[in-house]
A and B are shown apart, each in its own frame.
Chain A
Amino acid sequence: MMSSWSGVLLTRRLALGAASVALFGPAASASDGKLVVGLVLPLSGAFADQGQHYENGIKLFQKINGTKVAGLTVETVTRDDQGPASGDLARRLTQELIVRNKADLIIGYSFTPNAMAAAALLTEAKKPAVIVNAATSILTEKSPWFVRASFTLPQLASSLGNWAAKNGIKTSYTIVSDYAPGLDAEAWFKKTFEAAGGQVIGSARTPVTEMEYGPFLQRAMEAKPDAVFAFNPGGDVSVAFMKATRERGLQKAGIKLMVTGDVVDDNLLPAMGDAVDGVISALHYQVDLDNPANTQFVKQYRAMFGPDAVPSYRVVQGYDAMALVYKAVEKTGGNLDGAALVEAMKGIKLDSPRGPLLIDPATRDVVQNIYIRRGGQKDGTWRNIAFDTIPDVKDPAK
């Protein structure tokens, strides 16, 4: 009996909550002097690591800039969407945040499937969401309420394709993980590399959780390309890949290794060791960028998380996502209407730790510098050291 009663009560409260959002949602939240930001991040399971990074970035931004913007107190409500295989959960959490917690907007989605699952809901609820990571190109076309604060894989892959062709690499072989971002990376590397005069002489698609790359690398080496281009999903898979290239002596055989920057994520480098020696990668952030915003960012990050802490690009994405929200609310003068917020985000320029960042008004996607880096030793540890900058890279797929 008890349980069925509380069930009825709960449904009622939900219905009431939904009604109030529908009737006076934006006005109500503006008048109570609060800006509620819902966070949908992976905070448990195999990818808990990533979620923590975005969260740290968001916390850091609020520590530096305070929790008030345009007269509103900023509140965050955090939900755990567990990982890439939980689109349904990401969707449900997004709904709960909007209906029950009256979130004015969402920051979240580390993974493409989760963002994809939430897209239709955001469109229906007319609430903006800042994508904190998910990097498959077409996402921003799936809902007009998405704004991306991270990067797209075609941005990285096409930058590498261009760079390779211009730096004496004539032939290359691609090894990518067999899922949407991997296929994006493969397609855009090939497209730009071949357009600039290079030739892709072979390719391999590997299972997403592949741990034994030996046979694939052996085959690649026998094709004798000038370079191998690779993408894989980070974490243990990327560590295994990089170690396998070292073990097989890929670079010793005179074949250059190029990877999208997320493969050699700064916080994976300790586990990769000298396997990153000489590896060329492209990414939109790295810790030793020399600009005032980054100097300040790293200093504050270390004050918060310890003197040896290394902020990853994910921390910066969390930080910038919150920066976007603050800036948009400033621009609307505290008007939290979803449409007004999205409109305000279009064309915003941030002085980000990663360099100048622009939200393209036409696509709501991020325009930013892509840095070409080389793995090497600095102060006794292995790092990615930037040596070339490609300014203001748009997502080439749009």
Chain B
Amino acid sequence: MSGLVSVIADGAAYGMLLLLFSIGLSVTLGLMRFINLAHGAFAMCGGYVATTLFNRAGLPFLLTLPCAFLATAAIGIVAERAVIRHVYRMSALQQVLFSIGLAFAASALATIIFGPQQQAMLLPDWLARQADVGGVRIGGYRLFLLASGIVAAAALLFLFNHTLFGARIRAAVDSRRTAEGIGIDVDRLFAVAFALGAGLAGLGGAMSVAFLGLDPTFPFKYLVIVLMVVAIGGPGSIGGSVAAALGLGVIDALFKYVVPEIGSFVIYALLVITMLLFPTGLAGRRA
């Protein structure tokens, strides 16, 4: 029985990792209507920043995380100003082609700079050990992921629903012309929102290295699961993303544990069913 509880707790932690990964995409896709398949490239970028600082510069693990966030956000804002802002008004297909091209370019660049091999990220002992929480054994790093996911989700919910910045973003998304008419600098606003999305991707990437590894194919390996979280949760909905990520993590773990023969396929069936019943996602709004 404690085995089952521990598997569920592990699944929840895995779900939180998915959340950290995909929440940035939910922001850009849902709020800015930009289909950013290069999201994984920003996550990869955060991962490389973190491993480089951790392994070469010897920075403590916890310090590498904000660095990954800031560095990726900075790269995001440069990319947004330089090229991406020209893509907002294009059709969905053009956005897809553009951003997947960007992801391939980033992947090739990473191969040139860092080589094709796996990057190491060995956690400090207090994170690598299993902890005992009320009789349930759970990995220290998983606890850390759980906590980080909750904090990130709460912070974003607050940001979008209770601050002026959030109100402006929502206004700009609903009607760009009106927002501009009442004096909101939508151009700048979107740049900041994009940087936020990229930074979150970078943070998620940095936190995932210890769990999923890191190599130049990273932008593509996790694209499907990230899109699943966003699609099931409903683009732009923080709450929906939390529910989708946690649900996917827990259900995936549960089925692998109870019926390992089919366990790994259940979440994909779930995706199909959700898309049939809720085409705009669990918390979906009409576009």
Contact = CB atoms under 8 A, between A and B. Distances in A.
Interface of A: 44-49, 52, 204-207, 209-212, 214-216, 218-219, 221-222, 235-236, 239-240, 243, 246-249, 267-268, 270-271, 273
Interface of A is mostly: helix
B256 A216 contact: yes
B117 A267 contact: yes
Interface string B1-34: 0010011001100100000000000000000000
Contacts of B264: 206-207, 210
Contact of A236 (B212, B252, B261): B212
Contact of A240 (B212, B252, B254): B212
Given A206-B264, A218-B10, 10 more contacts: A46-B116, A206-B260, A209-B221, A214-B10, A215-B254, A218-B6, A235-B213, A246-B128, A247-B142, A271-B120
B116 A212 contact: no
Contacts of B65: none
Contacts of B10: 214-215, 218
Contact of B257 (A52, A218, A243, A271): A218
Contact of A49 (B6, B116, B263): B116
Contacts of B115: 49
B181 to A, nearest CB: 48
B280 interface: no
B260 A204 contact: yes
A49 B110 CA distance: 13
Contacts of B122: 271, 273
Given A212-B14, A212-B256, A247-B141, A235 B118 contact: yes
Given A215-B7, A215-B256, A215-B263, A49 B117 contact: yes
Given A240-B213, A247-B139, A215 B257 contact: yes
Contact of A218 (B3, B118, B217, B252): B3
A347 to B, nearest CB: 37
A215 B117 contact: no
A247 B128 contact: yes
Contacts of B120: 270-271, 273
Contacts of B11: 214-215
Nearest to A209: B221
Contact of A215 (B116, B210, B217, B260): B260
Contacts of A212: 14, 252-253, 256
Contact of A45 (B137, B217, B256): B217
A222 B3 contact: yes
24 contacts: A46-B116, A46-B216, A204-B260, A205-B261, A206-B264, A209-B221, A212-B252, A212-B253, A215-B7, A215-B11, A215-B254, A215-B257, A215-B260, A216-B257, A218-B3, A218-B10, A221-B3, A235-B215, A247-B139, A247-B141, A248-B130, A248-B139, A268-B118, A271-B119
B100 interface: no
Contacts of A248: 130, 139
A131 B185 CA distance: 62
B121 interface: yes
Given A212-B256, A218-B6, A236 B116 contact: no
B217 A46 contact: yes
B118 A239 contact: yes
Closest 7 CB pairs of A and B: A236-B213, A215-B257, A215-B256, A48-B116, A271-B120, A273-B122, A46-B217
B144 interface: no
B176 to A, nearest CB: 40
Contacts of B117: 49, 267
Contacts of B212: 211, 236, 240
Nearest to A252: B130
B158 interface: no
B256 A247 contact: no
A243 B263 CA distance: 21
A215 B8 CA distance: 9
B253 A215 contact: yes
A46 B130 CA distance: 31
A175 to B, nearest CB: 9
A67 B261 CA distance: 52
A271 B119 CA distance: 7
A222 B7 CA distance: 12
B111 interface: yes
Contacts of B257: 215-216, 218-219
Nearest to A268: B118
Interface string B55-89: 00000000000000000000000000000000000
A172 B281 CA distance: 44
B165 interface: no
Q: Which of B115, B117, B120, B128 has the most CB of A within 10 A?
A: B117
A247 B130 contact: yes
Contact of A52 (B116, B130, B252): B116
Interface string B199-226: 0000000000011111111000100000
Contacts of A206: 260, 264
Given A207-B264, A212-B256, A249 B215 contact: no
Q: Which of A204, A236, A267 has the most CB of B within 10 A?
A: A236
Contacts of A270: 120
Interface in B93-148: 111, 115-122, 128, 130, 137, 139, 141-142
Contacts of B263: 215
A214 B10 CA distance: 7
Nearest to A265: B118
Given A212-B252, A214-B253, A216-B260, A271 B213 contact: yes
A239 B121 CA distance: 11
B7 A214 contact: yes
Contacts of A216: 256-257, 260
Contacts of B221: 209, 236
Q: Which of B119, B252, B256 has the most CB of A within 10 A?
A: B256
A49 B128 CA distance: 28
Nearest to B129: A247
Interface string B156-179: 000000000000000000000000
Contacts of A219: 3, 257, 260
A205 B14 CA distance: 21
